[in-house]
Structure formats: C-alpha cells, structure tokens
C-alpha cells in the first residue's frame, strides 16, 4: 500500500487533499499537522510492507518550527530510507503561477517519489553506541553549557577554547558514523592527530576569520592531505554537529548532546553505492574519481580482485556511479532505474505562462538551500521551471540532457555548489567536463548549446539564483521567438 501523509495546511492555490487523492498509485491519504507525532513515526516504522510519502513544508531546512521534523528521526527508529520519501511544498509553490500549475507540479512530484521508492534498494543498517565525548570549537556561549555536560558524564575536548580542553593544531578532517566520529587535527609541524568523539559543537562568536577558514577547510571541504577525510552528509543527517550563535542555541545544543550521547544505540543506514561485481571490470575509474578515497580495488579477494568501498569515508555523492563505464554501481537512494523511469512523469509537466518548460536539476547542498531561501523569502522564479533534486552535481549524467529534451523541455538548468564551496569539487569538475563534451555534440548536431546551463550557487548569494533562472528563461524565449518553427528546440 502507498500511503501519503499530507500536511493539513491550507493553500489558496490548490486543494492539497483533493489533488493528491486523485493521483494514480496513492492508496491512502492521511492528513497531519507537522511535525510528525511519535505515533505517526511508529506507524511508518512498523508497516514495513508499505511505502510512505510525507508531503509538507521543507522537512530539512525550513525556518518554521511547525515544519521542523527530520528524516533522521525515522531512521533512528528503524525506518529504511528506501521506505519513506518527502515532497517539499515550498518547492511546489515557488514557481506555480496558479492553481492548475500548482496541482500539476504536486502530482508530478508525488508520482516521481512513488517511482523512486519503487526502485530504491534497501540500505544496510549500522548500529553504533555514541561515545560520551564532545568536541568543542570556540568559547561556550552559555556559562552552564560545560557544567551541564560534565554533570551528565560527557568528556569534553576541543580547540580555541580556554582550559581544560585546549588542544594544539587545527581541524583537518572528519570521518565516521553517527555518534562515533574521528576528528583529525593537523599540528604546527604538519603531523596529524586523531581524536574519537561522539559529536561536535561550534561556537561561532569569538572565532577569528582564520579560525573560521580552518573550520571550512577541515569540516566542510575535503582536506588536501590524502590521509584525512570528511563526512558532511553523515553530519547533516545525524545532527551530531551543532553551530551555535546565541545563548538560546547553546542551551538547546547542550540539552541535545546530553540526550544524544546517552543513547544506548543510534541507527544509521549506509547510503554507499551498491556494486555488481559481475559487471565490474576493475578499471579503477571509481578510485580515480573519488576525492574522499572511499573506493579501492582489493586484489586479495577472489582470483581477479573486487572493488570495495570504505563506508566511513563515502558520502554517497554518486560521482563513481555516473563515472562507472560498465554501470556496475548504483546508489540506493537515487537508483539508475528511477532516472530512466522519471522522464515519463516529467513529460506531463505543463508549460509556464511564457510557453516554456525548463527542468531545473539541483543538488542537495547549495542548490537545495538556494531554492529553500527563495521560497522562505517569497521570491519568484519563472513559472516554466520544474525542480528535480539529485544528491550531488557529480551525479549528473550527460544522458539527462537528451532525455530532458525528448521529454519536451526547452532547456535544462543545473544548480550546483560553486566549485570553491563544494564538498565534492572533483565530482563537480567531472560533471562540467562531461557536460562540456556533450555541448560539443549539441553544436555538431545543430542544437543550440545554450539550452543547457550550469548555474554555480554561492552560499550567502542565494537570491541571485532567481535572477539567473529568469535570465535563462528570457534566453530560451528569445530562441523561441527567433525560430518560429521551433523544430530544433525539441529535437
């Protein structure tokens, strides 16, 4: 049975319940007031034979407390990620010009999520016991922060803080699973030191610009040193890293870590790519394309050797999946079969008020944050835009472009992190290389190369994305006006 938990909020454009209830494949619609209650989460966890879709405001980045539920809570209760999907209403209404447009987008996104869940594979589950040790960066914003954690038996360590947790060096990397992380410090003599911790808290106020840059280099980017790694995706999903800007946030962080580090078990579903060893030719492309050093070829197993993945290092970006020449790898959360089936649903998208259809592919990092920012601030984007989320820009395959044109889209915009801010700069570079090669194919075959556009997104400049999409729409409209027959646009 396919069950949709539908937010009970009222929208002037469209009747949510009526629209979702008409979707083929939806067996039951359950209204709820976000966030999900414990009972509702338990139902999703226990009914393992069913697929669930939660339709509400942004489940991960919304500024509204009313919508502040996180998929990780379901995972910690035992729900496999391939068992439940989320549809973000903020993205639905961002580009909707009227009720008909909103209903069309909502139906497409729910159907796409059903297709994705149908093709998703079960993720292996890993259980960890959180270490009662917290890594602190900066000076605690609240006097009782340290006292509260020490009283709960949490060991404290850190850098750029007063005694008793002074450490030398600066952060150079992070790896591990929820509740069990390895923080790597690089000392003045460039030697590396590792510390095992259960979580991390960063007090933003009082840090110098150099210290903040060390944080960016060490925890949001991959270290240039091949011995150190990062885990941005695991951090984001497990909520085991808190950035504090006020005393109120400090109190919430201390309460969280007192509870989290005292848990007897934390469940984590590994999102690493699945490997079909019968298809794998041991060419080493996966090793070459992974900047996190998560892939290896193990020649001690089998007669011919096997390709393997380091779970603690992999961030499930999907770059190795796209790069694999034999299609021996597949990402459970974004399987190949989903993308090959998605175009049938995308074909049903209705053109915007300008008569155009633009597919906007966006990554889960800056791309997602930019769209959330535009939605939260009431910004507008062209009504011709339909959004499709992927894990990372490194996942974008050249085949996406001709498939989009065959599905009737006039243009494809790709929103990805600016290269100097990207967690996966190698994957981003690989994507640009692949698409630029395909651009040459478009040129040779007489297609307008400008119909495909990569839009790098800088944090702090999310508002410019709306302007970039409008400029893209204006460009495509200009082509349409110049070529009244419009035949070459859809070939």
- 373-418 pLDDT, tens digit each: 888 788 889 999 999 999 889 999 999 999 999 999 999 999 998 8
The beta strands (E) that lie in 51-177 are given as 51-56, 84-88, 125-128, 133-137, 155-159, 170-177
Lowest mean pLDDT, pick from 68-77, 138-147, 183-192, 338-347: 68-77
Residues 325 and 443 in one domain: no
Lowest mean pLDDT, pick from 8-22, 33-47, 92-106, 306-320: 33-47
Residues 490 and 360 in one domain: yes
Does residue 343 sit within a domain?
Answer: no
How confident is the model at residue 222, as a pLDDT? 37
Residue ending a domain, among 268, 287, 316, is 268
How confident is the model at residue 64, as a pLDDT? 33
Residues 432 and 412 in one domain: yes
Residues 355 and 389 in one domain: yes
Does residue 441 sit within a domain?
Answer: yes
CATH number at 24 reads 3.40.50
Does residue 480 sit within a domain?
Answer: yes
How confident is the model at residue 59, as a pLDDT? 44
Q: At 148, is the pLDDT very low, low, confident or very high (cuts 50, 70, 90)?
A: very high
Please give the angle made by the CA atoms of 55, 409 and 486, to the nearest 5 degrees.
155
277: nearest Cα among 321, 329, 232, 322 = 329
Residues 150 and 251 in one domain: yes
Helix, strand, coil percentages, rounded to 5, for the chain: 40, 20, 40
pTM: 0.82
Tell me the pLDDT tens digit for each residue of 471-489: 999 999 998 877 655 455 4
How confident is the model at residue 219, as a pLDDT? 53
C-beta of residue 123 within 8 angstroms of C-beta of residue 82:
yes
Does residue 340 sit within a domain?
Answer: no
Residues 262 and 278 in one domain: no
Percent of residues, the chain, with pLDDT higher than 70 = 82
Specify the number of domains making up the chain: 4
Full domain range(s) for residue 411: 351-491
CATH number at 308 reads 3.30.70.20
Q: At 124, is the pLDDT very low, low, confident or very high (cuts 50, 70, 90)?
A: confident
Residues 264 and 315 in one domain: no
Question: What integer is the mean pLDDT of 321-333?
Answer: 92
How confident is the model at residue 213, as a pLDDT? 59
CATH number at 182 reads 3.50.50
Residues 42 and 159 in one domain: no
Q: At 162, is the pLDDT very low, low, confident or very high (cuts 50, 70, 90)?
A: low
Q: Is the pLDDT of residue 70 over 60?
A: no
Q: At 442, is the pLDDT very low, low, confident or very high (cuts 50, 70, 90)?
A: very high
How confident is the model at residue 225, as a pLDDT? 38
The larger pLDDT score, comparing residue 483 to residue 7, is at 7
Tokens found for residue 168: 């030398």
Lowest mean pLDDT, pick from 37-46, 110-119, 190-199, 361-370: 37-46
Cis peptide before 35 (omega within 30 of 0): yes
- Cα distances (Å, whole numbers) of residue 240 to 121, 179, 234, 236: 26, 7, 8, 8
Residue ending a domain, among 123, 142, 172, is 123
Residues 213 and 93 in one domain: no
Residues 286 and 185 in one domain: no
Residues 132 and 263 in one domain: yes
**Sheet containing 452-457, strands listed edge to edge, beginning at the edge strand earlier in sequence:** 385-389, 358-362, 411-417, 452-457
């Amino acid at each position: 049975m396919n069950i949709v938990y539908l937010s009970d909020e009222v929208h002037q454009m469209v009747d949510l319940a009526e629209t979702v209830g008409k979707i083929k494949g939806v067996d039951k619609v359950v209204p709820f007031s976000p966030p999900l209650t414990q009972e509702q989460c338990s139902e999703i966890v226990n009914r393992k034979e069913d697929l669930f879709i939660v339709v509400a405001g942004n489940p991960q980045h919304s500024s509204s407390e009313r919508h502040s539920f996180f998929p990780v809570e379901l995972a910690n209760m035992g729900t496999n990620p391939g068992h439940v999907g989320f549809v973000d209403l903020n993205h639905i209404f961002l580009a909707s010009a009227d009720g008909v447009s909103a209903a069309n987008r909502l139906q497409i996104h729910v159907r796409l999520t059903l297709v994705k869940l149908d093709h998703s594979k079960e993720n292996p589950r890993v259980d960890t016991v959180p270490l009662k040790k917290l890594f602190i960066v900066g000076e605690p914003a609240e006097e009782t922060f340290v006292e509260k954690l020490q009283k709960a038996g949490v060991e404290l360590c850190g850098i750029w803080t007063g005694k008793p947790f002074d450490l030398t060096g600066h952060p150079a990397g992070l790896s591990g699973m929820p509740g069990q992380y390895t923080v790597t410090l690089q000392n003045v003599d460039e030697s590396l030191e590792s510390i095992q911790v259960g979580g991390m808290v960063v007090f933003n106020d009082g840090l110098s610009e150099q210290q903040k840059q060390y944080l960016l280099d060490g925890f949001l980017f991959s270290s240039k040193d091949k011995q150190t790694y990062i885990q941005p995706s695991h951090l984001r999903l497990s909520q085991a890293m808190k950035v504090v800007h006020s005393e109120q946030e400090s109190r919430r962080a201390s309460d969280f870590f007192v509870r989290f580090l005292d848990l007897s078990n934390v469940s984590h579903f590994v999102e690493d790519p699945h490997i079909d060893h019968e298809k794998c030719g041991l060419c080493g492309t996966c090793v070459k394309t992974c900047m996190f050093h998560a892939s290896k070829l193990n020649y001690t197993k089998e007669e011919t050797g096997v390709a393997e993945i380091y779970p603690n290092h992999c961030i499930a970006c999907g770059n190795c999946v796209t790069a694999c020449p034999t299609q021996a790898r597949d990402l459970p959360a974004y399987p190949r079969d989903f993308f090959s089936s998605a175009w049938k649903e995308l074909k049903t998208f209705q053109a915007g008020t300008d008569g155009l259809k633009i597919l906007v592919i966006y990554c889960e990092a800056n791309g997602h944050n930019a769209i959330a920012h535009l939605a939260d601030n009431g910004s507008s984007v062209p009504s011709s835009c339909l959004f499709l989320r992927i894990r990372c820009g490194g996942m974008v395959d050249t085949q996406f472009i001709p498939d989009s044109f065959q599905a009737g889209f006039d243009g494809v915009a790709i929103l990805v992190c600016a290269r100097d801010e990207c967690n996966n700069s190698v994957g981003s570079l690989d994507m640009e290389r692949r698409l630029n090669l395909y651009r040459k194919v478009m040129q040779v075959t007489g297609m307008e190369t400008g119909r495909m556009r990569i839009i790098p997104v800088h944090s702090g400049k999310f508002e410019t994305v709306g302007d970039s999409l409008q400029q893209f729409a204006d460009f495509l409209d200009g082509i349409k006006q110049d070529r009244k027959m419009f035949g070459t646009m859809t070939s």
